[in-house]
Every structure is written in structure tokens, then in C-alpha cells.
Amino acid sequence: MKLIQELWESLAEALIGLGAVVRFLLRLVAASPRALLRLDLISQQIYNAGALSLVIIMLSGLFVGMVLGLQGFQLLQRFGSEEALGTAATIGLVKELGPVVTALLFAGRAGTALASELGLMRATDQLSAMEMMAVDPIRRVVVPRFLGGVIAMPLLAAIFSVIGIYGAQLVGVQIMGVDAGSFWSQMRGAVGLHDIYEGIAKSFIFGVTCSLIAVYQGYYALPTAEGVGRATTRTVVTSAVFILFLDYLITAAFL
């Protein structure tokens, strides 16, 4: 009996948490038009979330692409169709690996930075101080960080995919000896614009999810050192789970 009650309570807690996140998202969206007037704040957050993540994204993209080149070549060789490597690598990167791996890295690199920054602002009463000065912390602090993440994420995913394709080309064509013309022509024949759109849509949705979870966890962190740490951890864990879950949903919707 007690077990059922505990289960029910934890379920209710999860639902309350989900509802609070959605309400927070609506608040952010409502405050967005006004926050767009301060473009300098947003561009600074694009720098924090995007430009500072460039190196890790490009390195990861290169290695993921090179591994795809190796594995794809090994697999396709069994069927005697190594020329399809370009198609396989591009579709894999643009539709799946690009958005998902970028989002996971983004949650780890930019999401944690956002959550701990906001959590520390909360712990040191900076957010309350803003409220005292009649400055809306949501509009001044949270929304620019959210929008910066949303804008940066699709661009990062696109950069990841392009570097990955060149990584696959490097291994497949330069090392394994697939014909460069077939690599690119089969890719162009098989990849359609809808594949690219699917990748962009995915990375955009992941950008919203990651940024939202990060700013929510940071904004509502307990104002203690432990609370900030926990908010950072939760950001990564929740983001990762939601990214993979949403990835399945979006893929199924686009089929």
C-alpha cells in the first residue's frame, strides 16, 4: 500500500516538473519579442554557446566521420558496393549523428555552463537583486541565454555534419580508395533536400530542448553549492534522455 502511494507521489512529482518546464517555456516565449530588442545580449550568448563550442564540435565531427568511413567501408565491401559510402555517411550524419551527437555535446559543453552560471546567480542573490531593481531577470538574463542556444544549435549541427562528411571522404577516398566521383555523385543522387530539412528540424528541436532544460535547472537551482552542482548534473542527464527520446519521435514523424 505504501509502495503504491510512493509510486503515485513520484509520478505526480514528475508530472508537476514537466508542467513547470512547459510553463517556463511559455514565459520565455512570451518574453522573447522584448528580449529581441537587446541583440547585443543575444549575440554574446551565441558566442558563449556557439563559438566556444566550435572546437569540440569540429573535432568530434571529424572523428565521427572518419569512423563512419571505416565502418561503412567494411560493411559495404561485403556487398561489393563501396561506392555507396558517400550516401551512407551523408545520410547517417545529416539525419542522425549530426543533430544527436551535437546536441549531446552541446548539453555537456554549453548546457552545463548555462545551468551553473544561472545557479550561481541564484545562489549569490544576483537574480533577486535584479528583481529589486525592477529588472526582469527572465528578460534580461534567461531569455538571451535560451535564444542564443536555440540559434547556435542548428548551426553547430550543420558544421558537425559537413566536417563529418569530409572525415568520411578522407578515410573512404584517400585511404580506402573509393572512387571520389562515385562517392560524391551517388551522394548527390540519393540525398534529397528533405533529408537536410529533417536534420535542421531535429537540431532546432534539440536546441530548444537543451537550452530550456539548462536554463530551467539553473534558474530554479537550490541556492547552495550542492544545489548548483545538482542542477548541472540534472541538466546533462535530462537533456541526454530527452534528446534520444525526441529523436525517435521526430524520426518516426518524418518517415
Nearer to other proteins, 197 or 245 (CB): 197
Interface with other proteins (CB under 8 A):
43-44, 46-47, 50-52, 54, 79-84, 90, 94, 152, 154-156, 158-159, 161-162, 165, 181-182, 185-193, 195-196, 199-200
Query: CB of residue 85 vs other proteins: minimum separation in angstroms?
Result: 11
Q: What is the largest CA-CA distance in the chain?
A: 70
Distance CA(185)–CA(255), nearest Å, equals 24
> Whole-number minimum distance, CB 83 to other proteins, in Å?
5
User: Strand, helix or coil at 36?
Assistant: coil
Q: Select 32 or 182, whichever has its Cβ closest to other proteins.
A: 182
Cβ distance to other proteins smaller for residue 93 or 121: 93
- The Cα–Cα gap between 62 and 51 comes to 17
Closest distance between other proteins and the C-beta of residue 181, in Å? 5
Element (H, E) at 119: helix 112-123
Our CB check for other proteins shows the closer of 66 and 76 to be 76
* Euclidean distance between CA atoms 206 and 163, whole angstroms: 20
Tell me how far, at minimum, the Cβ of 9 lies from other proteins, in Å: 45
**How many angstroms separate the first and last alpha carbons of the chain?**
44
| 19 vs 181, beta carbon nearer other proteins | 181
CB of 232 to other proteins, least distance (A): 24
Cell numbers placing 232: 548541472
Give the Cα separation of 114 and 72 in Å (integer): 37
Q: What are phi and psi of 194, to 5 degrees?
A: -65, -30
